[in-house]
Amino acid sequence: MSASPPDMPPAVEFTGISKRYGRTVALDDVSLEIGDGEFFALLGPNGAGKTTLLHILCTILQPDSGSVTVRGADVVRNARRARQNLGVVFQESSLDDRLTVYENLEFHGLVYGVPAAIRRERIAQLLDIVELTERRDTVARALSSGMRRRLEIARALVHDSRVLVLDEPTVGLDAQSRGTVWRHIERLRAERELTIIVTTHYVEEVEGADRVCIIDHGKIGALDTPANLKAQYGSESLRLVPRDEATRNELLAQFADRASERGEALVFTVPDTAFVDALLGQYGTRLRELSYEHSSLEGAFLALTGRGAKDQLAGPRERTLAFARQGGEHTR
Amino acid sequence: MNPGPFAEAPETFSRRLRSDVGGVYAIWLREVKRATRDRGQLIGGISRPLLWVLILGIGLNPYFRGEVYGEVRFIVPFTYLQFIFPAVIALNIMYTSVQSAVSMIWDRQFGFLREVLVSPLPRSLILLGKVLGGATVAFFHGCLVLILARFADVSIAPADIGYGLLLMALLAFGLTSLGIVIANRIRSFEGFGVFSNAVILPLYFLSSSIFPIDPGLTRAQAVVVYPEWLITLVQINPMTYAVDALRGALIHFNQFDPKMGMLVLLGMCVLFFGIALAEFRRS
Amino acid sequence: MRRVVALTRQYSWIILGILLLCAVSLLPPDTSLSEVKADGTLTACVPAEREPLVMSDPQRPGVEVELLTQIASAIGVKLQLNTIASMGEDFDPQSWGITRAQCAVVAGGLVDSTQTRSFLEVSPSYAETGWVAISPKELPSLEGRSVGVLATVQGFNRIALASYLRSQGVQMRILRTGDELVQGLATGAFDAGITEALMGESLSTGKNWLIRPLPAPLERYPLVFGLWKGDLTLKRAVDDAFDRMQADGRLAAVLKKYGVVGAPGEGP
């Protein structure tokens, strides 16, 4: 189910990609086609292989078998052309802290061979879109993490790439910055012909995607539009906390096939409204908490991978620990 | 709003060449810009010659001159200040070259290297830009030492200095490449610090940089004054010939064959850059 | 203009650093000059007699003495001569036993050679010298002749002279003083006298003898004053004085007075 016209090559095409690290299989014969102009999301827990897939796409890693093409150019055999078409925003910040915003963008433009006049013009445009024009001469080190992200996104487009790859673009940002980043991505998408490939843990961000691919243990679990996925795997559910033990046992006994336990709460999959009416009629007065969850991608994710997407997110504490372990901050 | 599908146009050779040259320039420029904003490195590059030339040079000067005419044992026709002056230039270049290699570890750890690796610029040119940038900064630091030439009574007339500058440039290039070869093997900053102290400094001190192996004596006699193992170490150390060539260019005094110095420097540049390139391509 | 200001601010640290180094390079590296000035005298070690550089006639004290007097007055001090007997007798510097305490300048016909530079710093050269052959009559070559050699000069390559003379197949006689040379030539004891150029010139004044420098591979040496190594400030002062003397012709005048051929570029 590709969105590109029949005579154009797909934006990105993975064919039978496999990669293993020692005994661990990171990717197992993954094949995927992403159409031109598509907004494609890759969803999966840590270790699922999505970062590996992205790295193979960006030519940082070489696959053990299979091939990837970007707009028809094979990343191994025609690496130069493939790279020219790719704009990558990595999960870890890859800006030069000592250079200013403008210098970072110009560096990128020079390295990708953008001619001087076009470079200047395009940098000005991009700075305008991501709202960093007043910060032109600020050293990158002095920017907030939200601004850094926006800068990196702008940077990835300086060479007029057609495929924008974003690896966890909003991780570590507060809710407001997240919204801003997505707003800018939307704006960029509207103004240019862009294919966007995103990996993220924030399932709600992925709702607007054209297609979502859920990947786990190196294999594709599902690949479809968000609506279809929700319909197929996500389900409506009722979450409630019973007031006492007796109520709890009764509920579990009566609706055993629909119930699952989540801490002190019980979650029931809901087939229809009649079910809810019946349950509430029977137990309504013996409940402490009650909430209704619409069919969600989170649910689909849960159903497909058996784990919550957010469970895998490294908390800020873990990230600081990891940072300290690798040596912490140095002045250079 | 969209300035055309420029990425799709077929790449002519000249377009590719211009793009590649621009890429090398970008990487070179980044190194130089970073260095101008690195206050710590600059302070080091200025305090080192001050320390060595000003304090060590003057302090040890009286011990190396003929206070009694005819009683000096080491017959070196220059003052001690003049003798170590070229060595201090080499020292400054060495320190800065190695520091620029450290930035490679930094880039790798903190992701900037990836940004460059996914670009269409060929790996060899990425490395070339990096080495040229580091070498330029190291060369500049070497030139800082030259400002003290009047103090040390070393002539910096254009005729004398031209060859010296060439040697300094080659030394900077070779040592930066060496630094990158080492940086490829060491994955953490602490390791690099240990290495630089355990290897780089001994390499420097054993290059007859601060004490002469008396040229007035034959090798047999030199052994009588210095232990045999020391003489051997000094003679197999490539830095010895590099520093000696620089000394020859600046104060016209050579302990070894001046052509050797140039050969060793060229060899160093080619060898270390080659190894760095091979390893970089593979990673 | 604004761009210059902006650039300066951006590179302020580098500029500061360079200025610091420049300032340091102007510092005096030693106290030699200030010591001389504090003493009020410039001391010089000289041999007792060394024609025409150092002589005992107060009216004609010698080329070097006159030059040194002028240098001393340029610095603003007086000249004080320290006569070291051994300097005139032996050409091996180690036997002279002079130390820094005795003199700031070493004179008496020192030449600028690697050997001299091993021990001392040198001033600019005031004249050139080398081996010459003096003979009463024209001698096309020295082959097979008998010569008297007066070689009590420091810094010359005696070995080279010896091998040259041997290659010419001459009969050598070693002389000890200038008088012996003069007498020997007058009486015809030998055909030619070999000695250092300035000595030869002064020995043959008024005698209508021919002086010919010996050819290559025997070198010409510049005549200089010796300064102790590391006395950079004093050296700079001496260099300055020298340049001025050369510029206003005083150097040429002194050389002319003693009939000495100067360094290349100087007239006889």
ipTM score: 0.82
- CA pseudo-torsion sign A43, A49, A54, A57: negative
pLDDT single digits (tens) B197-227: 777 888 888 887 877 776 555 555 565 667 8
- Most B CBs within 10 A among C19, C21, C106, hence the mutation to make, goes to C21
Contact A111 B29 (CB under 8 A): no
Q: How confident is the model at residue B135 (pLDDT cuts 50, 70, 90)?
A: very high
Min Cα separation B200/chain A (Å):
20
* pLDDT above 70 (res A326): no
Q: Are C260 and C198 in contact (CB under 8 A)?
A: yes
pLDDT score recorded for residue B153: 78
Indicate the helix (H) or strand (E) that contains A288: strand A287-293
Chain A meets chain C (3+ C-beta pairs below 8 A): no
Closest residue of chain B to C230, computed from CA coordinates: B79
B46 in C contact zone (CB under 8 Å): yes
pLDDT score recorded for residue B70: 53
Task: Assign domain C130-213 to its CATH superfamily.
Answer: Periplasmic binding protein-like II (3.40.190.10)
Q: How confident is the model at residue A5 (pLDDT cuts 50, 70, 90)?
A: low
Min Cα separation C98/chain B (Å):
6
With beta carbons under 8 A apart, name residues in chain B contacting C106. Answer: 69
pLDDT score recorded for residue B266: 93
CA A41 – CA B121 distance, rounded (Å): 28
Least confident span in A4-8, A201-205, B167-171, C161-165: A4-8
Contact C21 B49 (CB under 8 A): yes
Closest residue of chain A to B23, computed from CA coordinates: A111
Say how many C-beta atoms besides its own lie within 10 A of residue B240's C-beta: 23
B151 in C contact zone (CB under 8 Å): yes
CB under 8 Å, gap of 24 or more: what pairs does B269-274 form? B269/B170, B269/B173, B269/B174, B269/B177, B272/B174, B272/B177, B272/B178, B272/B180, B272/B181, B273/B127, B273/B131, B273/B173, B273/B174, B273/B177
pLDDT score recorded for residue A318: 60
pLDDT score recorded for residue B224: 61
Q: What is the distance in angstroms between the CA of the first residue and the CA of the last residue of chain A? A: 49
pLDDT score recorded for residue A104: 94
Min Cα separation A80/chain B (Å):
5
Same fold yes or no, C32-128+221-257 and C130-213 = yes
Q: Are A209 and A40 in contact (CB under 8 A)?
A: yes
pLDDT score recorded for residue B133: 94
Min Cα separation B178/chain A (Å):
20
Domain made up of C32-128+221-257: CATH architecture: 3-Layer(aba) Sandwich (3.40)
Contact B38 A112 (CB under 8 A): no
Mean pLDDT for B36-40 is 86
* pLDDT above 90 (res C152): no
With beta carbons under 8 A apart, name residues in chain A contacting B193. Answer: none
Contact A125 B1 (CB under 8 A): yes
pLDDT score recorded for residue A110: 93
CA C180 – CA C174 distance, rounded (Å): 10
Neighbours of chain B (3+ CB pairs under 8 A): A, C
Closest residue of chain A to B41, computed from CA coordinates: A332
Q: How confident is the model at residue A307 (pLDDT cuts 50, 70, 90)?
A: low
pLDDT score recorded for residue B221: 57
pLDDT single digits (tens) C42-92: 988 888 777 677 777 778 888 888 888 999 988 888 988 888 877 766 666
A195 in B contact zone (CB under 8 Å): no
Max mean pLDDT among A275-279, B175-179, C175-179 falls in: B175-179
Q: What percent of chain B has pLDDT over 70?
A: 85
Q: What are the tokens at A216?
A: 């786990």
Min Cα separation C21/chain B (Å):
6
Contact B34 A121 (CB under 8 A): no
CA neighbor of C203 nearest in space, from C72, C1, C84, C55: C55
Contact B3 A79 (CB under 8 A): no
Contact B81 C29 (CB under 8 A): yes
With beta carbons under 8 A apart, name residues in chain B contacting C25. Answer: 147-151
Q: What is the overall mean pLDDT for chain C? A: 80
In this complex, the residue of C98, C230, C235 whose CB is nearest that of residue B69 is: C98
pLDDT single digits (tens) C89-129: 666 666 777 777 788 888 887 888 777 777 788 888 888 88
* pLDDT above 90 (res B138): yes
- Most B CBs within 10 A among A110, A126, A138, A330, hence the mutation to make, goes to A110
Q: Spell out the SS3 assignment of chain C.
A: CHHHHHHHHHCHHHHHHHHHHHHHHCCCCCCHHHHHHHHCEEEEEECCCECCCECCCCCCCCHHHHHHHHHHHHHCCEEEEEECHHHHHCCCHHHCCCECCCCCEEEEEEECCHHHHHHEEECCCCEEEEEEEEECCCCCCCCCCEEEEECCCCCCCHHHHHHHHHHHCCEEEEECCHHHHHHHHHHCCCCEEEEEHHHHHHHCCCCCCEEEECCCCCCEEEEEEEEECCCHHHHHHHHHHHHHHHHCCHHHHHHHHCCCCECCCCCC
Q: Is B214 exposed, middle or buried (0-12, 13-18, 19+ CB in 10 A)?
A: middle
Q: What percent of chain A has pLDDT over 90?
A: 15
Q: How confident is the model at residue A319 (pLDDT cuts 50, 70, 90)?
A: low
Contact B70 C93 (CB under 8 A): yes
Min Cα separation C163/chain B (Å):
22
pLDDT single digits (tens) A226-271: 878 777 766 677 788 888 888 888 888 888 777 777 777 887 777 7
Mean pLDDT for A85-105 is 90
pLDDT score recorded for residue B129: 93
CA C128 – CA A76 distance, rounded (Å): 75
CA B42 – CA B50 distance, rounded (Å): 13
* pLDDT above 70 (res B231): yes
A328 in B contact zone (CB under 8 Å): no
CA C68 – CA C84 distance, rounded (Å): 17
pLDDT score recorded for residue A111: 92
pLDDT score recorded for residue A105: 94
CA neighbor of A155 nearest in space, from A209, A80, A93: A93
Say how many C-beta atoms besides its own lie within 10 A of residue B130's C-beta: 27
Contact C230 B65 (CB under 8 A): yes
In chain C, domain spans = 32-128+221-257, 130-213
Closest residue of chain A to B126, computed from CA coordinates: A111
pLDDT score recorded for residue B76: 61
pLDDT score recorded for residue B77: 67
pLDDT single digits (tens) B273-283: 999 999 888 76
Min Cα separation B131/chain C (Å):
22
pLDDT score recorded for residue B177: 93
Residues 211-230 of B with CB under 8 A from C: 216
pLDDT score recorded for residue B2: 43
B3 in A contact zone (CB under 8 Å): yes
The torsion of the CA quartet B126, B129, B131, B137, rounded to 10 degrees, works out to -150
Which has the higher per-residue pLDDT, B24 or B98?
Answer: B24
Q: How confident is the model at residue C154 (pLDDT cuts 50, 70, 90)?
A: low
Contact C13 B61 (CB under 8 A): no
B59 in C contact zone (CB under 8 Å): no
Closest residue of chain B to C11, computed from CA coordinates: B36
pLDDT score recorded for residue C88: 67
pLDDT single digits (tens) A29-73: 888 898 888 899 988 877 678 888 888 888 888 888 888 998 888
